[in-house]
Amino acid sequence: MNIYLIGFMGSGKSTVSKVLAEKLSWELIDTDEYIENKTEKSIRDIFADEGEEGFRNTETECIRDISLLDGKVVSCGGGAVLRSENVKLMKESGIVVLLGAAPETIYERVKHSTNRPILNGNMNVDYIAGLMEKRKPAYDFAKDIEVVTDDKTADLIADDIYSAIFENCNLGNDDVDEKLS
């Protein structure tokens, strides 16, 4: 079983997954890093050369690779939930944890980022809020559990995830409960 962290850019997936992986002594995989290693190109260059569609195709290939592994904490790119094939692969091979945050919090965390092509030229709270709203159904469909991250340390968020998964095993989802039992 893997633990997949999903959520909008800047929701804290990278930081929290690092802490969670340490707590569990599991290996951490960041899908964006995996993509960059596999293609030997930066995310920015993939978007520039192949567009979003090209990036999404590679992202799906990489999630397929990762879904064959076991015992990994996986920090997923913010748009990984947009393809149902990715969501299916994640759900079949682990538990999906959504990290939620308010658009204002997201903006504060990503405003200086130059490596997020989706926000190029649109680095403002209104655009972020609109895109979050558009993606909300995909995040809600994909998640097994949700943890709110505003005003919380990564350590506390990782503890919340740990107890939600390993202490209150009854997540109300038969497939997931069976994986944990």
The amino acid that residue 77 corresponds to is G
Minimum separation from the CB atom of position 8 to ligand S3P (A): 7
Report the residue count for the chain: 181
Size of the site for ligand S3P (CB under 6 A): 10
Provide the mask over 1-40, with x wherever binding to ligand S3P is found by CB under 6 A and - wherever it is not.
--------x---x------------------x--------
Minimum separation from the CB atom of position 29 to ligand S3P (A): 12
CA–CA separation, 77 and 32 (whole Å) = 6
Minimum separation from the CB atom of position 37 to ligand S3P (A): 14
Minimum separation from the CB atom of position 181 to ligand S3P (A): 31
Residues 6+ apart with CB under 8 A from 106: 8, 9, 10, 11, 128, 132
Segment near ligand S3P (CB under 6 A); pick from 17-25, 73-81, 93-101, 150-158: 73-81
Burial class of residue 105 (count of CB atoms within 10 Å of its CB; 0-12, 13-18, 19+): buried
Nearest to 80 by CA among 103, 100, 105, 62: 62
118 binds ligand S3P per the rule CB under 6 A = yes
Give how far the C-alpha of residue 63 lies from the chain's centroid of Cα atoms, to the nearest Å: 11
99 binds ligand S3P per the rule CB under 6 A = no
Segment near ligand S3P (CB under 6 A); pick from 15-23, 75-83, 96-104, 160-168: 75-83
Q: Which of 17, 24, 77, 165 is the binder for ligand S3P (CB under 6 A)?
A: 77
Residue 80 β-bridge partners? none
94 binds ligand S3P per the rule CB under 6 A = no
Within the chain, strands assigned E span 2-6, 27-30, 72-75, 94-100, 145-148
* Contact set with ligand S3P (CB under 6 A): 9, 13, 32, 43, 77-79, 116-118
